[in-house]
Homo-oligomer: A and B are copies of this chain.
Amino acid sequence: LSTTLSEAQKRLLRSTSLAHLGTINPDGSPQVTPIWVDVEDDRPVFNTAVGRRKERNLRRDPRVTIEMTDPDDPYSYIEIRGTAELDEEGAEDHIDFLAHKYLGVDSYPNRRASERRIKVYVTPTSVFGRVD
């Protein structure tokens, strides 16, 4: 298994398809939630907020899986396992960037004044893909 993303896999991560993030709950069971995603350098990047279940899961256990299907090919998908790194720096701009990419708007419409956004970088430890 590769630990680097191919160009086709990066194209998929840059598309407007949703990705699906797996994290581990405190009791060891799986959590899966839809996420907006993009790629910076060679790492998938997504965004969450302090206190959300996935953010708490990631602080406790940074192991994640990001799964993404290619809407143009029902048999293609990628599964990226990796380690999450949480960063507040740039997180507010990043959620606006993702809102622009996915919704075509200038700023994230669901912002709450009390919310602290978190940008999450995923360093791949294995990349499985039927998208070459």
B-binding residues in A (CB < 8 A): 18, 20-24, 28-34, 61, 63-67, 69, 74, 77, 79, 81, 102-103
Contacts and interface: CB of A to CB of B under 8 A. Distances in A.
Nearest to A63: B29
Copy number in this complex? 2
A101 B65 CA distance: 28
A30 B20 contact: no
A57 B20 CA distance: 19
Contact of A34 (B33, B34, B63, B69): B69
Given A20-B20, A28-B24, A33 B64 contact: no
A18 to B, nearest CB: 6
Given A20-B67, A22-B22, A31-B65, 16 more contacts: A18-B74, A20-B34, A21-B32, A22-B30, A22-B65, A24-B29, A30-B31, A30-B63, A31-B79, A32-B65, A32-B79, A33-B77, A33-B79, A34-B69, A34-B77, A74-B103
